[in-house]
Structures are given as C-alpha cells and as structure tokens.
Structure 1
Amino acid sequence: MSDHARQITRNASVVAGATLLSRVLGFARDLIVAFALGAGPLADAFFVAFRLPNLLRRLFAEGSLTMAFVPVFTRMRQTEGDRAAFVLARSIQVWLLIILGAIVLAAMVFAEPITLLVAPGFSRSPELLATTTTLVRICFPYILFISAVALCMGVLNAMDHFLAPALAPCMLNIVLIVAALTAVGMGLSVPHALSWGVLVAGVAQWTVQQPFLRQKGFSWWGQVGLLDTGVKRIGRLMGPSVLGSAVYQINILLGTVLASFLPLGSISYLYYADRLVQFPLGIFGVAIGTAALPSLSGLAGRKDWKGFGSGLSSALNLTLFISLPAAAGLGGLAEPIVELLFERGAFTGPDVVQTALALQAYALGLPAFSCVRSLVAAFYALEDTRTPVWIAMVCLCLNISLGLILMQFYDHVGLAAATSLSSWANVVLLVRYLGRKQELDRLRPSSALGKMLVLSGCVLAGTMLTAGHAVMAFALIPVWVAGFIGVAIWWSVPEVSLLLGVLRRKKQEPPA
C-alpha cells in the first residue's frame, strides 16, 4: 500500500472515531430532548426554528464550503506558501460574514413570513406562530458560527489535522443536553432554552478549534484580499456545489412527497430506516471522504496523477471493505435492530416489520452511498464541481422515475430501493467520467474484492439465520466482526492489513 493510502486511512480512522462519539452523544441528545420537550406543538416550534439554519448549513457551509475551499487552499500553500493561504482563509471568512450576515438580518426582519413558508399550518394557531417566530430569531444566527466552523475545519484538514474538526459536533450535542436538563430542573421554557443552546453550541464549536489553528501558525488577524484570484476561484467552485447540495435536499423532499401518497406511516418508516443507515454511513463513508479530499488535493496540486489514482483507489477499496459487511449485517439484523431501538409506546410490531423492510432496501445502497463521498471529493480535488452536479441531477430523475414505478408494487420499500439503485448509478457515472480525465490513471478495484463479497455474503447468511432470536443475534455481532477480520487476514486481503497497520502505529505513537 502507498504512503498516500496509509495517510488517508490514518486520517479516516481519526474522523471515524470522533464521529462515532458524536453519533452516540447525538442519540443521547435525542433521548433527553424527547424527554424534556415531548412531541407536542412546542417541540414542533423548536424543530422548525432549528431546521432553517440547518438547511443553510447543508447548502452553504459544511459540504459546499469545505469541498470548494480545501483544494484551492491546498494548492495555494504548495505554490505560494502558508502566508498567502492564510490571507485566502481570512478573506473567505470576511465574505461569509458579509453574505450570511445580510441573510441573518433579513431573517430577523422577516422571521414570521419565513416561518409560514416552512410551516404554513402554523397560521391556524397565532400563539404557536408567535413562539416559532421568536425561536427562529434566536436560532438563525447559528449559521454564522457554523459556517465559520466549516472554514476552520477546511484549514485544519488541509494542514493534516482532523481530530478537532471531527470532535466539534460533539459540542452541539453536549450543549443541547445541558440546556434541556437545565430547563427542566429550573422550570424554564424548554424550547427557548434549546434555541439559545443552539447559538451557544455554534460559538463552542468555533472556540474549540482555535488553539489548534494557533498551533498551525494561523491567526484571524492580518491581511485580507477580498478580490484575490483564489477567492474568485472558490466562488466559482461553490456555485455548482451549492446546487449539488440543493439537489440532495430536493431528492429528500420529493421522496417525502411520493411517500405521502402511500398508506399512513410510510414517511415514518422511511425516516427511521434512513436514520439507522446514516449511522455507519456517517462514521465510515463520510470519514474516508473527508480524509481523502486534502490528500487528493495535494496530489492534484503536484500533478502526481499516479499517486492520485492510487490514493483514490485505496480510499474506494477501503470504503468497500468496511461498508460491504456493514450493509450485510444491517440487512440481516434489520428487524431485531429496529425492534430494540424503536418498539415501544405507539411504535408497534407491524411498524417494526415495515421499517425493517425499508432498512434492508437502504442497506443495499450503503456501499454506494459511502463511495460517492470519496468520488465527489476526487472531482473537487481536480476543481471540477460541475460534473458531480449534473450527474446528481440525472440520478435525481432516475430516483424519482424508479420510485414512481416501484412504489406501485412495493410501497415505501420501493422508494427505498429506488434510492439505493440510483446511488449505484451515481457511482457508475462518477467512475466513468473520472476515467475520462486523460491525466488520471485508471481506478483499480481491490484484488480482493471477490473475497470481500464472499465474506460479506457469509455475514448476511449468518445474521439472517439468527435474526429470529434477538438476544443471540446481538450476542453474535462481535463473532461476525472477528470472523470477518480473521478470515480477511488469512486470505491476505490488503485493506485489513492497511487498517491494522495504522492502528498499530497509533498505539505506538507517543501522545501529543
């Protein structure tokens, strides 16, 4: 394995570990917020208010900004040095403050019509509308801080530091947990406390990264160049990437629209199943894609196309090595997993069965969902943001078309299957158009891909055989993991050697 592959794997392991902690804290946050807030009109008010800055975060901050910023920042460091790259980062921060500051001010003034746009049904309750409008005004400035957090993440990732940015989301979960418990303990308004908690969490996520930026020699005080070439380049790259994020959000919205024509409960089945498949996707797929972007950007900047192809191939093969057995286990144990997590209160046995079927359909696409992140990172590293966007639009049309057909026969399960199939089409198209880049070496599938598929098939068969006995099914999970890794070592699967080698080195390294 190349040094580039080891670097991506090492960084991905850091991001995955921090993301796992964040997801566990997020699950605890959901439980505590549900306990403190319930599911009534005040809960609806808070979730609507929080959804608005979250939508802007997904469109402008974490994905779009980071993906556009890292390649340009990395190349500027290589060609002009840290000082010029730091000027670029400060300039982008000023633009964020100007653009998003104007959006926040507009949201403060027009909070009520914005609320009605998102939740028109609230017009029937003036009191609920007034409460939600107040919460929107409290929550909305969060977009300023979380965009600054995304910029900090881009700087640190480009300078080969991944731990602090990956841990930053933990602050949101911790602050909201404290806010909910404090409100309950002191008899305060829970939705108002949570809304202020969102704002505090944004400041906390930004603050936690500042010591690490200073260690890298970066300061927010200094020269800026608002119209520099690098700034304009990032602006050009962000346009298509924002459109790509919008396509993803439209995909989710249209899926919900189609599900609304199915029997009652279909939207909920898809929601809960998607939440479960997002857990391994967020930990592994996103982690590897996040780690791959700076490495691939550096290789593209040096025009090391052989290393670029090797690094991307290694990232994709590592993703498949992890996601294939994860998909098999998730599909095989779908029903006991849903039963353990959700079957209580109004969530009954038939709901478990229907949600599990949707989870199995989503599990088919888990390897594709995971690979897309690294493939899109490769295009961004090459400063090509248009190709992934038009491919995403093609796959959006395919998803809707397949969904309309399959829902006629399989209801909500057909919609989940359409999402998985269109994601595999996304992978195929991204790989094909990467292969047309004349400067790149051909992507090489792992020599052990067949072995991975066989081992994952064994995991699927074993988990399905034990799925009817919940206690046994969960008790055997460590056995399936150990067996998969053990046989992979015996079969000399290179990806497991890469992972174990990175873990051994991390244990041997002295603490920082």
Structure 2
Amino acid sequence: MSNLSRFGLSTLNDVISVSNSSKKSRSLVGIAGIVALATLISKVFGLIREQVVAAAFGIGPVVNAYAYAYVIPGFLFILLGGINGPFHSALISVLAKRDKSEAAPLVETVTTLVSIILLVVTVLLVILAAPCIDLLAPGLDKISRDIAVQQLQIMAPLALLSGLIGIGFGTLNASDQYWLPGISPLFSSITVIIGIGAIAWQLGEQVNAPQYLQFGGMILAVTTLMGAILQWLAQLGAQTSAGMGKLRLRFDWRIPGVSDVMKVMIPATLSSGMLQINTYTALFFASFIPNAAASMRYANFVVLTPLGIISNMILVPLFPVFSRLAAPENWIELKVRIRQGLLLTALTMIPLTAIFIALAFPIVQVVYERGAFNLAASKEVVPVMMAYGLGMFFYLARDVLVRVFYALGDGETPFKVSIINIFLNGVLDFLFYKPFGTPGLVFATIIVNVTSMLAFVWILHRRLRGLPLVEWGVILLALTGIGIISGSVSWWFSWLWEKSLGHGNLILQLLELSLASLVCMGVFVLLALPLRLPELNILVSRIRGKLAR
C-alpha cells in the first residue's frame, strides 16, 4: 500500500472543526450515518409514493404528462434545491470558512437575491406553460399534452421553493445539522401518497377513465407543490432557531462573503444545469417513443433510491473537508480524500450495478407490479433500469470530482466540460434513440458521464501536481471484474430459485430478491478482501457496528 493510502485512511474518523469554533464536530463516519438514516427514511417514503402512483396510473397518460410537466420545476428543484446541489455547495464552501456570527446577514442577502430572480421565473412558467410543453415534448399526444400544461402551471412555484430549500440545506449543514435536511423530502412524498391514495380509493379502476385523467393529473401536481411548501417551512424553522438567518428581505450586497458565494454559485448552477439539460434532452427524444418517459421515470427512481442515500453519505461529509484542504499546503491530504471518495463510490456502486443488472426483473416486479402496473409495464421498465444501473458508478464518481473543483473555488471548469457534453449528449441521443429505443437514451447519458469523469480526473491530475492514477485505475479494474463475477453468481442463484421454487407470489419474489442480493454482496466482499483496501475495512466495520446495535 502506498504512503498516500496509509496516510489518508487514518484520517477518516478524524474530527472536523466547524468554522472558527473550537467545538468539535461529529466525525465523518458519524455524519455519514446520520445522513444515511435520514435519507433512507426519505427514500422509503419516496418509494411508497412511486408505488402508489404506479398502482393508480401505471405507465399511462397521467404519468407520461407528469414526466414532462415536472421537467422545468423539477430541473430547478434538483439543480438548486437538492443536497449537494450548487446552492448547497456554494454556501458550504463559504460558510465553512467563516464565523457563525457572519452567517445570518450573508444567508438573508443571498436568499433575497435568489428569491427575486426565481419569482420572475415562476411567473414566466405560469404564463408560458403551453409553449414550454410543446418545446419539451413535440411528440406528446393531445391528452397527455393538456394534462402536462395544467400540471406545469400548478407546479410553477417549485421554481421559487427550489432556491429557498437549497439555501436551507446549505445553511443547516454549515451549522452542523444533518438530520432535518436529510429527512425533509419525505414531506413531499407523504402529501402525494395521501392525495393519490385518496382518489384511487374513491375511484378505483375508473381513475384511468378518460373523464378523470385531467383530475388525477391535477391532484398529482397539487400534492407535489404542497409537499415542497412543507419541506421549506420545516427547514426555515430550524434555520431561524440555529441563528443562520430569518425570512427577511436584505439588500446589502456588500456584506463580506456574498460575492464569494455568488462566485461559486453562478458557475456551479450553470454547470449542474448543463448536466440536467442532458437528462431532458433524452426526454425530448423520448416523446417520440410510446411510454418512454414513464418507463424512464420509474426505472430511474429505483436506481436513484440507493444512489441518493449513498451519494449523500459520501458527498455531504466529504465536501466541507475538501473545502478546508483547498490550500496548496494541504493537497497531499486532499488527494487522499479524493481517493476515499472514488473508492468508496466504487465499493458501493459496483455491487449495486451488479444487482440491478442481474436481478432487474424481480426488482421491478416487487417494487411496481400491482394495480394498473402490469406484466407488460414491467417488461418495458426492466431494460431501462438495467441501463441506468450500468451508469451508477460514473454518475457518482463525477459528482465527487465536481465537488473537488467547487472546494478549490473553481466552478468554471465543470461548466466548460458540461457545455461540451451537452452537444455530445444531443448527438448520441439522436444516434441511439431509434436503434436502441429508450435504453439507448440512457446509454447516451452514461457515455457523457464517463467523458466528464475522465476529463475531471485529468485536469485535477495536472492541477494538484499529480495523482496516483495507475494505482487507482488498477484497483477500479479489479473491483469491476469482481462486480461482474458477483453479478453472475447472483443471476445464477435467482435462476436456480425460480426453477426450483418459482416466483408466483410476492413472498417468494421478496425472498428471491433478498437472498440473491445478499449472495451478490457477499461474493463481492469476499473477492475484494484480498485487495486489502482500507476503504473496504471501513465499510465492513461500519456495517458490523450497525448490526451489533
């Protein structure tokens, strides 16, 4: 093992300081545990929400319409309002270096500026809803288009709420609060579950009758908006109690730190926006493929559930550390932390990729196949989910590297790379959507993420005066091979189970899926142990600690 590796992994449980305070913060592992638990709870409710929507509407017009109506508000919500989004990252990178007493005026000023801009965007979305849908989905049928226009007008305020929630995430994490930001998205899921569950209970199978489609679409949009409002209000109360700013207008743009926040926030927003544009370029071409948007939505959610949990575990505690190691004299440790981020990503994402590819069909059946979501719908979603699973590592590894650039105060480089990839993604979508159908659109996105990741690695290699790329590359290739073997064993176990016991009911499907997944993870860990990776030891010891409690 290299000296760099030995040095780095002894620091994983080090205590990090918050701003200039002498108070000790939680360890990285402790923070990761809090974030993981909170995110897990939110994701469980999110999964139930998707199951309710799938059971009520299947892959019909309401969900297809919602996929497009949510494009712009959802784009802003993911871009600005998510944990690890540019607003969150910009505020963390600045507040982590300042005294807490400076936080409230800074946050209030940034909130005022952002709110004014996003309020204008909200009004424009309401007025221009129809042209926006026509631009995003020219191949959409009339029924789905009409539903989508109504849904977009209802959800337009998500534009404003996205900025407020993103600022809340950043300020709460900067004040060493991780539980509420992680768990707050469940408010949105709960409102959708209650709203859709109520109309499905009242109307039954008639919920998909032509006369009720518009009503069902409206309820889906209204509950989405109400959930976002509840999420913001919960964060606002905690933010005020922590002394990190109240809901007030403040126009003092000369407050120290405002320019620093905007210096990171603007290019970071543009860069992340370019990435999201790649996703919605795929939706543009998906409008010409029947049920493609709904299939992508369902498949993407299943993959993003564990990906979201693990990404928060890795990125949330590591990003403040990246920021504190930005000075050249700290680059040795910064390189160690980059290795930790990449290898922890590989150790979690590669076995999950193996599971999603080997067990795609039983996963979709267990999660979605009930009510209006039938066997035919499962057959459409399965190949799309397998394609999404293939890109998990590249998606998260790219995010780890982007956070390093943000920590270095450089939002321009990710932005420039993203601009190039927009054109690459558009070309690949055009080339792939006809011969490969919906999975082809996902393959295009994967290639874009691979290109971004490689570009970021090479630029950091030059900027940080060398990275041990050969060492890292050999480890990643070995883990990839182990992933292929573990996935193959898992698939064989699943095949043998179905041949011997069948999978005719939910209990058998759950047992098959659970045992086959455990087989995959077990084989992966056993084969990875000879590599003697300290990151693997950290993961294993952490899991043992949780199970022992």
Structure 2 partner of 1:27: 47
State the Cα distance separating 1:32 from its structure 2 match.
2.4
Residues 274-319 of structure 1, C-alpha deviation per residue, up to 9 Å, x if partnerless? 3443333222235422332222112226962222221121111111
Kindly provide the CA deviation profile for residues 247-271 of structure 1, in whole angstroms up to 9, marking residues without a partner as x. 2233223334455677x56666555
Aligned pairs, how many?
A: 502
Contact kept? 2:67, 2:293, Cα under 8 Å:
no
Q: 2:110 aligned with 1:84, yes or no? A: no
Identity of counterpart residues, as a percentage?
A: 25
Amino acid at match of 1:206: W
**CA 1:448/1:124 → structure 2, altered by over 3 Å: closer, same or farther?**
closer
Q: TM-score with structure 2 length normalisation?
A: 0.77
In the alignment, the residues of structure 1 paired with residue 221 and residue 309 of structure 2 have an alpha-carbon distance, to the nearest angstrom, of: 27
Secondary structure of 2:115's counterpart equals helix
Cα distance change of structure 1 residues 505 and 227 upon mapping to structure 2, 3 Å threshold:
farther
Larger displacement relative to structure 2 (391-400 or 221-230): 221-230
Name the residue aligned to 2:266: 239
Q: CA offsets, 1:32-52, max 9 Å, x none? A: 235556777666676655544
Comparing 340-349 and 360-369, the one that deviates more? 340-349
Q: Distance in 1 between matches of 2:310 and 2:267?
A: 25
Is residue 495 of structure 1 aligned with residue 535 of structure 2? yes
Paired with 2:72 and 2:530, the residues of 1 have a C-alpha distance of: 51
Deviations 1:436-463 (A, max 9, x none): 2146765662986565345323312202
Whether the aligned pair in 2 keeps the contact of 1:448 and 1:494 (CA below 8 Å) is no
Deviates more, 1:284-293 or 1:366-375: 284-293
Counterpart amino acid of 1:101? L
Matched, 1:66 2:88: yes
The change in CA–CA distance for 1:123 and 1:349 in structure 2 (over 3 A counts) is closer
Query: Which position in structure 2 is the counterpart of 1:151?
Result: 167
Q: Secondary structure at the match of 1:202?
A: helix
Whether the 8 Å contact between 1:297 and 1:381 is mirrored in structure 2 is yes
Q: Cα RMSD between the aligned structures? A: 4.0
CA contact 2:349–2:393 (8 Å) conserved in 1: yes
Q: Which residue of 1 aligns with 2:191?
A: 175
Distance 1:261 1:145 in 2: 31
Match of 1:299 in 2: 325
Alignment of 1:21-60 (within 5 A): 21-35=41-55, 49-60=69-80
Distance in 2 between residues matched to 1:389 and 1:207, nearest whole Å: 32
1:231 is displaced (CA, Å) by 1.9
List runs of 5+ in structure 2 lacking aligned partners.
1-8, 15-26, 204-211, 504-510
CA distance in 2, matches of 1:417, 1:48: 20
Q: Is the 8 A contact 1:87 1:224 kept in 2?
A: no
- Whether 1:139 and 2:155 are equivalent positions in the alignment is yes
- Partner deviation per Cα, 1:150-176 (whole Å, 9 max, x = no partner): 111111223333221111111110122
Q: 2:118 corresponds to which residue? A: 100
Amino acid at match of 1:225: D
Alignment match, 1:389: 415
Cα pair distance change 1:384/1:181, threshold 3 Å: same
Separation in 1, partners of 2:337, 2:13 = 5
Match of 1:445, SS state, is: helix
Q: Distance in 2 between matches of 1:5 and 1:446?
A: 25
Distance 1:186 1:219, change over 3 A: farther
- Quick check: 1:209 aligned with 2:235? yes
Aligned partner of 1:290 in structure 2 is: 316
What is the TM-score of this pair, normalised by structure 1?
0.82
Q: Is contact 2:80-2:87 (8 Å) kept? A: yes
Q: For residues 35-79 of structure 1, give each alpha carbon's deviation from its aligned partner in whole angstroms, at most 9, with x where no partner exists.
A: 55677766667665554422332344432322222212222x1xx
CA contact (8 A) 2:80 2:269 kept: yes
- Assess, with a 3 A threshold, how the Cα gap between structure 1 residues 25 and 257 changes in structure 2: closer, same or farther: same
Residues 98-126 of structure 1, C-alpha deviations (whole Å, 9 max, x = no match): 2222333444555566566657799968x
Q: CA deviation at 1:394?
A: 2.9
Counterparts of 1:211-226 in structure 2, within 5 Å, are 212-213=238-239, 216-220=242-246, 225-226=252-253
Q: Please give the alpha-carbon distance, in whole angstroms, between the structure 2 residues aligned to 1:291 and 1:465.
A: 37
- Report the equivalent of 2:521: 481
Contact residue 51 and residue 367 of structure 2 kept, 8 A: no
Who is 2:491 aligned against?
464
| Amino acid in structure 1 at the alignment position of 2:89 | M
The alpha carbon displacement at 1:505 in A equals 6.7
Question: Partners in 1 of 2:383 and 2:63 — Cα distance?
Answer: 29
- Whether the 8 Å CA contact 1:146–1:205 is kept in 2: the answer is no
Distance of 1:256 and 1:110 partners within structure 2 = 19
Change over 3 Å in CA distance of 1:467–1:407 after alignment to 2: farther
1:250-399 residue pairs with structure 2 within 5 A? Answer: 250-258=277-285, 270=296, 272-300=298-326, 304-341=330-367, 355-399=381-425
